[in-house]
Amino acid sequence: MAVSFGSTELPETLTGTLRKAIRIQWITIGFLVMATTIVGLVLGNSQAMKAAWVEDLLSLAPPISFLLAVRISRKPPTVDRPYGFHRSIGVAHLVSATALVAVGAFLVFDSGSVLLRAEHPPIGSVQLFGQVFWLGWLMIAAMLLTGIPPIFLGRAKMKLAEQLHDKVLYADAKMNKADWMTAAGSILGVTGIGFGLWWADAIAALFISGNILWDGLTNMRGAIKDLTDVRATTFDDAEPHPLIDKVNSCLRDLDWVQDAGSRIRDEGHVFHVEAFIVPQSGADLSVEALEQARSKVSDLDWKMQDVVLVPVHQLPEYARP
Amino acid sequence: MAARRALLAFALFGTAALLAVLTGCASFPADPDGTLDRVRGGVLRVGVSHSEPWVRVLEETEPAGIEPELVQRFATTLQATIEWQPGGEEALMTDLEHGRLDLVIGGLTAESPWTDKAAITKPYAESRNREGKTEKHVMAAPLGENAFLLELEKFLLSEEL
């Protein structure tokens, strides 16, 4: 059964993909709740451990906002909301990216100040099963336990993000990368502390947090640009979306069209297309011809949510390919 | 690809940590400033702040009370002699922070605000204060001297007050 996706329908093949994405986000939430509990119990005084914990907490933002946004975005447009509800994906992307930035900035500041003040992190003992041993061992075990699942979660999400053109999933995949990197860094840091290298922990945290902050800022920039109507880009914001060229050449191929250019913005999953058409001189511009052209563009891809055709004498500057 | 590399990183870090210990790294965790090594068979410098009945700082004799007795026994396990230094809590904590003391006692509790200057140990005893609230009693060790901290906590736990 096809899933309604605003005013368009998701193709058969992608329905399963969306279901998979929803399932993986519920798994992520379950995993994160478990991980924050475990790490919270063995937190101690390691800087990197504390960082990993805050990180896990903030990692909840992308999956939650994804689940909310997917639910909202599927509602069909109404008189009140004529553009539909897909922008909720853009908002969720911004929320996720902001969470990433917050994690990165917090970690940079936190580990940086530890280094500057030359604080030596104390890690004491823990009593478990009648045995007293170093709390560091428990921390390493907790990090191994909570650090490995995000590798696979992130990888799966990256694939789904591309297929669904879902930037929230993309930001979340980056968040999962941040998760496992912090975990690996904490192991390195705590081991370093064990060797008496008090700075190992903070250096590891600083190195990783720089990486996270960068991912966060890149995503934040992408999210803000999408919300402020930048030309549509690929799911990773790497390049202009190839559909822009496809729309233009599809229209130019019509025999009554002399030239065509379009502006396309990303509504989140789906695109909003305004195509400008310069008809051949003397061409008879019938409503039929225009509607045909419109459905031809709509059929190009499931992402073509809204297509508006504007016949003009001359292409506007910004729509010239 | 990325996943395999990440897993490899975890495997490496894990085994590195394990190897370090199995190949007989003398002490793990180690002290950045070597407190435990210096104290063992040497001198344990203890700051004492008066707080009945845990620490009684006396004019003529050595400090008495529950905590000085505990510290005395701890020093014995390390074959260390004790150098007592009486003082106010803040001055002692500053000395501890700058490595001029190895231990501070004075009826400290787990609620102690000194966590940025000292490593607060695990509680070794509980009592009720005048308001009927449970207080967990702790000592203060130098920050980051984890071998020393672990040794002290092991001792305190074995005492079972």
CA distance B93 to chain A (A): 15
- A112 and A259 housed in the same domain: no
Radius of gyration over alpha carbons of chain B, in Å?
A: 19
pLDDT band, very low/low/confident/very high, at A48 (cuts 50, 70, 90)? low
- A265 and A184 housed in the same domain: no
Is residue B36 a contact partner of residue B147, using CB atoms and an 8 Å limit? yes
CB contact under 8 A, B146 and A122: yes
All residues of chain A having their beta carbon less than 8 Å from the beta carbon of residue B154 are 125, 132
- A45 and A190 housed in the same domain: yes
Does residue B92 have a pLDDT over 90? Answer: yes
What are the two backbone dihedrals, phi and then psi, of residue A36, each rounded to the nearest 5 degrees? -65, -35
Give the residue, A170 or A2, on which the prediction is more confident: A170
Check which CATH number belongs to the domain holding A280 and give it.
3.30.300.30
Work out whether strand B140-142 and strand B118-120 pair parallel, antiparallel, or are unpaired: antiparallel
Structure tokens belonging to residue B31? 């002290």
User: For residue B121, what is the DSSP state?
Assistant: P
- A130 and A270 housed in the same domain: no
Q: Classify residue A166 by burial, with Cβ atoms within 10 Å: 0-12, 13-18, 19+.
A: buried
User: Is the previous residue joined to B29 through a cis bond, with omega within 30 degrees of 0?
Assistant: yes
Does residue A206 have a pLDDT over 90? Answer: no
Structure tokens belonging to residue A246? 């496809």
Is residue B124 a contact partner of residue B136, using CB atoms and an 8 Å limit? no
> What 3-state class would DSSP assign to A35?
helix
User: For residue A9, what is the DSSP state?
Assistant: E
A134 near B CB under 8 A? yes
> What 3-state class would DSSP assign to B14?
helix
A233 within domain boundaries: no
User: Which of B10, B32, B141 has its CB closest to that of A196?
Assistant: B32
The total number of structural domains in chain A stands at 2
- A250 and A213 housed in the same domain: no
The whole-number pLDDT of residue B4 equals: 73
pLDDT band, very low/low/confident/very high, at A1 (cuts 50, 70, 90)? very low
The whole-number pLDDT of residue B17 equals: 63
> What 3-state class would DSSP assign to A114?
helix
| Least confident segment among A45-59, A97-111, B116-130 | A45-59
Domain region containing A264 = 243-319
- A215 and A304 housed in the same domain: no
CA distance B11 to chain A (A): 9
Does residue B19 have a pLDDT over 70? Answer: no
What pTM, to 2 d.p., does this model score? Answer: 0.78
- A18 and A155 housed in the same domain: yes
CB contact under 8 A, A187 and B14: yes
Residue where a domain terminates, one of A227, A262, A291: A227
All residues of chain A having their beta carbon less than 8 Å from the beta carbon of residue B122 are 124-125, 127
| Residues above pLDDT 70, as percent of chain A | 95
- Average pLDDT in the A153-182 region? 90
- Average pLDDT in the A140-164 region? 90
CA distance A114 to A120: 8
The whole-number pLDDT of residue A22 equals: 94
| Residues above pLDDT 90, as percent of chain A | 38
pLDDT digits (tens, 9 = 90+) for B25-76: 556 888 888 899 999 999 999 999 998 889 998 888 889 899 999 999 999 9
CA distance A83 to A77: 6
- A178 and A286 housed in the same domain: no
CA distance A34 to B109: 31
Ordered by start, the domain boundaries in chain B are: 1-28, 31-159
- A51 and A198 housed in the same domain: yes
pLDDT digits (tens, 9 = 90+) for A87-139: 898 898 899 899 889 888 988 888 888 888 887 888 888 877 777 888 888 88
- A250 and A149 housed in the same domain: no
pLDDT digits (tens, 9 = 90+) for A227-237: 999 999 999 88
Q: Classify residue A128 by burial, with Cβ atoms within 10 Å: 0-12, 13-18, 19+.
A: exposed
User: Which of B29, B149, B157 has its CB closest to that of A127?
Assistant: B157
The whole-number pLDDT of residue A45 equals: 59
Residue where a domain terminates, one of A227, A251, A285: A227
Q: Which helix (H) or strand (E) holds B44?
A: strand B43-48
Does residue A57 have a pLDDT over 70? Answer: yes
- A126 and A249 housed in the same domain: no
Mean pLDDT of chain A: 87
A237 within domain boundaries: no
A266 within domain boundaries: yes
All residues of chain A having their beta carbon less than 8 Å from the beta carbon of residue B147 are 196
Structure tokens belonging to residue A226? 């999408």
| Least confident segment among A7-21, A59-73, A282-296, B20-34 | B20-34
- Average pLDDT in the A233-259 region? 92
Tell me, rounded to whole angstroms, the distance of Cα B82 from its chain centroid: 15
Look up tokens 């297929």; give the residue.
Answer: A163
CB contact under 8 A, A134 and B150: yes
Does residue B161 have a pLDDT over 90? Answer: no
- A110 and A74 housed in the same domain: yes
Does residue A249 have a pLDDT over 90? Answer: yes
CB contact under 8 A, B119 and A195: no
CATH class in words for B31-159: alpha beta
User: For residue B123, what is the DSSP state?
Assistant: P
Check which CATH number belongs to the domain holding A23 and give it.
1.20.1510.10
